[in-house]
Structure 1
């Protein structure tokens, strides 16, 4: 059967087959990971930071996200594991001398090479465009290619000279398997940090309790000191009864009283080597004692004299 005008339809026009799966351009996918921020989807520009999972971000966009997490943003799931600025590391990147950036293609009428990257490996010179595996060090933030780490095996950073271990290496924009491994190591590291903080707090609390107990044992209560104190004798020296003995450092700190009558309970009136005239100078002498009738009351008067 034909349609209007005598046209004959073909089979592919009448029978609908399965839809073809859209293929993603690999170059565009690599450019989106290595040239654009994973959070804001803007072009990467210094300073550039990376998280524990190996994703690249602009530092400004991370700071804006941390300051206001309630704001609506796309791709917030990508940064759900970032709690603070300490969870990201600023990268120490090496510029690519062959990359001209947007200066060459300002008008948009020139060919732009998507494989040309902004940064390279400082040891081998490979471009950081996604075709080669790159790592960054959590200690110093320097970035190297996998080939450089295999060819030049060392435990010191090739760029800044800081020591590092294999656990400090993090893959940049790795595969799903790499991301899963990095997530497990991140969770283990955070759990270890929590346990270390708890143990530190418990140790500090124990030390403070011991110090408080030592301070309380060294302190002498006021009531006992007042009860043990005796009135002044005639020579003006106070006689105090011996207090309770303390042990440890507190006993060392206590000093014996200094003076000629230290530790003696004799009064001046009982001294035989002193004369009566000398003894009569003090209120403890019998001549100074008066009866109630002899004691006079105090009388107040105005200080003015007329």
Structure 2
């Protein structure tokens, strides 16, 4: 039955001890970050893109995620709103000699290297990319060759344009802060541009409105004055004692024939008491 003097129990049989956490396979964890897409978990194949937090994706997987918004780890992808939030990377593949050496040594076959110092992009060395051009180089190359232009394509960059690939927790927190600051600045710039455009459009509209009424009123008043003066002159002439319709050059013959002073009135028949016709009166 035990504990009767014939057996000696061990401590782990009498005391419940905490189970140790299973140690993660570091090589598998590194390979998952540097060899496989962070969305689809498939092999990284060109075109390869990276977000502002330095994770690696296949571009077709990002497009599929943006269309469907479905992924096993979609909570980690909320910062990718469109294709402008990722940068297509310019990676340097291994040469044939480097591939042969890795295969002979039996090491993991990582596909890319640093174009400056030749370090393998296998997770042991820190790699970065430039947001301005997408070129990928190692941190050692940036420290050894201090320059304000890209070491591959000679395009200028700032410290904010350097993004660490697959960084640790502290580096990812720093990248998140830089991302929020960068996006807030872009929002403010867009807001300023929109306000300037609206102000310029409103200013032009006000100028057009202020010019149109002045021109229209001035032209209309001038035309009204001309009409008034011409009508007054005509009325004054007709009101005078010497005015005669027969002598008016502007009156037509048909209009003049309506009056008894016209020559055609002499031959016009007149009404009499037997056959009264009002047309003759």
TM-score normalised by the chain length of structure 1: 0.68
Aligned residues of 1:36 and 1:42 also touching (Cα < 8 A): yes
What SS does structure 2 have at the residue aligned with 1:286?
coil
| 1:89 pairs with one of 87, 90, 94 | 87
User: How far apart, CA to CA, are the structure 2 residues paired with 1:47 and 1:217?
Assistant: 57
Q: Equivalent residue for 1:293?
A: 258
What SS does structure 2 have at the residue aligned with 1:196?
helix
Q: Equivalent residue for 1:157?
A: 150
Give the number of the structure whose alpha-carbon radius of gyration is greater: 2
User: How far apart, CA to CA, are the structure 2 residues paired with 1:294 and 1:217?
Assistant: 53
Describe how 1:114-133 pairs up with structure 2 within 5 A. Answer: 114=108, 116-133=109-126
Q: Cα gap change, 1:20/1:37 in structure 2, threshold over 3 Å: closer, same or farther?
A: same
Q: Which stretch shifts more, 23-32 or 85-94?
A: 23-32
Describe how 1:117-266 pairs up with structure 2 within 5 A. Answer: 117-220=110-213, 225-226=219-220, 228-229=222-223
Aligned-residue offset at 1:148: 0.2
User: How far apart, CA to CA, are the structure 2 residues paired with 1:155 and 1:144?
Assistant: 14
Q: Any idea what the Cα deviations from partners look like across 1:56-79, whole Å, max 9, x if unmatched? A: 01100000000111x4x2111221
Aligned-residue offset at 1:163: 1.0
Aligned-residue offset at 1:9: 9.2
Q: Equivalent residue for 1:35?
A: 35
Aligned-residue offset at 1:8: 7.2
Q: Any idea what the Cα deviations from partners look like across 1:214-234, whole Å, max 9, x if unmatched? A: 111222565764554269xxx
User: How far apart, CA to CA, are the structure 2 residues paired with 1:8 and 1:155?
Assistant: 75
Q: Equivalent residue for 1:23?
A: 23
TM-score normalised by the chain length of structure 2: 0.74
What SS does structure 1 have at the residue aligned with 2:99?
coil
Aligned residues of 1:39 and 1:78 also touching (Cα < 8 A): no
Q: Any idea what the Cα deviations from partners look like across 1:40-87, whole Å, max 9, x if unmatched? A: 111111110000000001100000000111x4x211122111111000
Q: Equivalent residue for 1:113?
A: 107
Q: Cα gap change, 1:142/1:240 in structure 2, threshold over 3 Å: closer, same or farther?
A: farther
Q: Equivalent residue for 1:45?
A: 45
Q: Which stretch shifts more, 8-17 or 83-92?
A: 8-17
5+ unaligned residues in a row in structure 2: which ranges? 235-244, 261-281
Q: Cα gap change, 1:224/1:112 in structure 2, threshold over 3 Å: closer, same or farther?
A: same
Aligned residues of 1:38 and 1:78 also touching (Cα < 8 A): no
Aligned-residue offset at 1:93: 0.2
User: How far apart, CA to CA, are the structure 2 residues paired with 1:216 and 1:127?
Assistant: 68
User: How far apart, CA to CA, are the structure 1 residues paired with 2:11 and 2:28?
Assistant: 32
Aligned-residue offset at 1:135: 0.5
5+ unaligned residues in a row in structure 1: which ranges? 105-109, 232-238, 242-265, 268-282, 296-306
User: How far apart, CA to CA, are the structure 1 residues paired with 2:200 and 2:188?
Assistant: 18
Q: Cα gap change, 1:111/1:131 in structure 2, threshold over 3 Å: closer, same or farther?
A: closer
Question: What is the aligned length?
Answer: 235
What SS does structure 1 have at the residue aligned with 2:200?
helix
